[in-house]
Amino acid sequence: MVGTELSRLAAVLFDMDGTLLDSEKLWDIALADLATWLGGDLSAPARDRMVGASLGRSVAILHADLGVEADAESSGAFLLERMAELLRTRLTWRPGAEKLLAEVAASGLPTALVTATHRRLTEIALDTMGRQHFTVSVCGDEVPRPKPNPDPYLAALRLLGVPADRSVVIEDSPTGIAAAEGSGCIVVAVPSAVAIEPAASRTVWPTLEGRHLADLERLVVERVGRRSA
């Protein structure tokens, strides 16, 4: 850890789908199956807009893309059931994610899982990731305004009792990055299904492979340094 309290990493907040887990591929399957069930084919641009979105938002995009007036509740139930099946059998880690999560958790730092995914599905995924790695978790169906609004990250910060300006968020999607940046946290973007453009408000890493707790700590020191310059 770095020397002064004001330069010390306070917490690490992880997104789940596409960041820790290679589950966007599973969403591809489930969403395609839903589209077929509704009598159509999901377009690639519509699928891209769903990355990082809540269940309700994804269903709305899919219905609009297919041009159908289907029941949102029925479509949501179909997605939940299909994803639950896939999560139990095909879940894998993103490169470097398992090692970094274990290192951060072993350090004793507060950690949060902040996901747009429904609590029912998150609980299945936690069995794979190890729920002991997370101090708290916040799901998309547990906040009034899900990502891209900052509410999920603000809720996690309140639960952890840590300041945003010394907390690092790791995200993979434009939707999640918008939420993280809106919360005031330090943001690391690790692109998965959708490309992420560099910006002053984020650090872009191509992968978590080879990344360590020290890399996250360094980001806090750099932010403090920029403020004091």
* Residue 64 amino acid letter: A
pTM beyond 0.95, yes or no:
no
pLDDT digits (tens, 9 = 90+) for 191-215: 998 899 999 999 999 999 999 999 9
User: If you write DSSP's letter for every residue of 96-134 in order, what string do you get?
Assistant: THHHHHHHHHHTT--EEEE-SS-HHHHHHHHHHH-GGG-
- Which among 128, 106, 137 is positioned nearest to 213, based on CA atoms? 106
Q: Are residues 96 and 161 in the same domain?
A: yes
What CATH number did the domain enclosing 85 receive?
Answer: 1.10.150
pLDDT for residue 226 = 77
What CATH number did the domain enclosing 159 receive?
Answer: 3.40.50.1000
Residue 25 makes CB contacts below 8 A (sequence gap 6+) with none
Q: Are residues 122 and 181 in the same domain?
A: yes
Quick one: what percent of the chain has pLDDT higher than 70? 97
Residue 4 makes CB contacts below 8 A (sequence gap 6+) with none
Q: Confidence band (pLDDT; 50, 70, 90) for 228?
A: low
Q: Are residues 36 and 10 in the same domain?
A: no
Q: Which one of 90, 114, 130 terminates a domain?
A: 90
Q: Are residues 33 and 110 in the same domain?
A: no
CA distances 64 to 49, 72, 89, 140, 221, Å, are: 12, 11, 30, 21, 45
Q: Are residues 37 and 120 in the same domain?
A: no
Higher-confidence position of 3 and 214? 214
3-state secondary structure of 199: strand
Q: Are residues 132 and 78 in the same domain?
A: no
pLDDT for residue 6 = 64
Q: What is the mean pLDDT of residues 170-195?
A: 95
CB atoms < 10 A from the CB of 22, how many? 18
Q: How open is the CA angle 207-158-105, to the nearest 5 degrees? A: 40
Assess whether pLDDT exceeds 60 at residue 2. no
Q: Are residues 77 and 190 in the same domain?
A: no
Q: Which one of 39, 71, 90 terminates a domain?
A: 90
Assess whether pLDDT exceeds 90 at residue 3. no
Assess whether pLDDT exceeds 70 at residue 1. no
- Which among 55, 66, 42, 36 is positioned nearest to 116, based on CA atoms? 55
Q: Which one of 63, 90, 117 terminates a domain?
A: 90
Range of the domain at 63: 24-90
pLDDT digits (tens, 9 = 90+) for 126-172: 998 999 999 999 999 999 999 999 999 999 999 999 999 999 999 99
Q: Are 112 and 11 in contact (CB under 8 A)?
A: yes
Higher-confidence position of 193 and 183? 183
pLDDT digits (tens, 9 = 90+) for 70-106: 999 999 999 999 999 999 988 899 999 999 999 999 9
The overall average pLDDT reported for the chain is 93
pLDDT for residue 4 = 60
Domain count for the chain, please give it.
2
Task: Give the Cα separation of 45 and 22 in Å (integer).
Answer: 20
Q: Are residues 39 and 133 in the same domain?
A: no
Q: Which two tokens stand for residue 145?
A: 């305004």
Q: Are residues 119 and 224 in the same domain?
A: yes
- Which among 9, 27, 52, 20 is positioned nearest to 180, based on CA atoms? 52
